[in-house]
Amino acid sequence: MPESRSHKRAKGPARRTEVPISRGRRLDAKRGKYAIEVERSGSQKRIVKAISRLKTQTSSKKILRVPQSDMKKTVSITKKSGVKLSVTNLSKTKRRTVK
């Protein structure tokens, strides 16, 4: 299924998109030191999967973009998973860094 226009916009001007990672998975975008994953559904299961895809990136700064209404839920899930990453809204105006 092709990506929506808003999904492409949320990824930003990435150098590489749909980057292959282990176990047949794909990372949404990679730009220099940044690994970017966009999760628009708000489902807890999908957020956990997106976090696990970002977890594979060892030398990257990790960014998980979600709708603003799902940011609190995503931050709490990220804290439980123990991954250091930034959670931003889709328009990149708000950011929460989880350590």
Owning domain of residue 51: 5-98
pTM of the entire structure? 0.85
* Across 7-29, average pLDDT: 79
* Across 21-36, average pLDDT: 88
| Count of structural domains, the chain | 1
3-state secondary structure at position 71:
helix
Distance between CA 69 and CA 76 in Å, rounded? Answer: 13
Q: What are phi and psi of 57, to 5 degrees?
A: -85, 105
pLDDT score at 27 = 86
Categorize the per-residue pLDDT at 1 as very low, low, confident or very high, splitting at 50, 70 and 90.
Answer: low
Q: Measured in whole angstroms, how far is the alpha carbon of residue 84 from the centre of its chain?
A: 12
Nearest by Cα to 55 from 96, 14, 21: 21
Categorize the per-residue pLDDT at 26 as very low, low, confident or very high, splitting at 50, 70 and 90.
Answer: confident
* Sequence-separated (6 or more) residues with CB below 8 Å from residue 33: 59, 60, 61
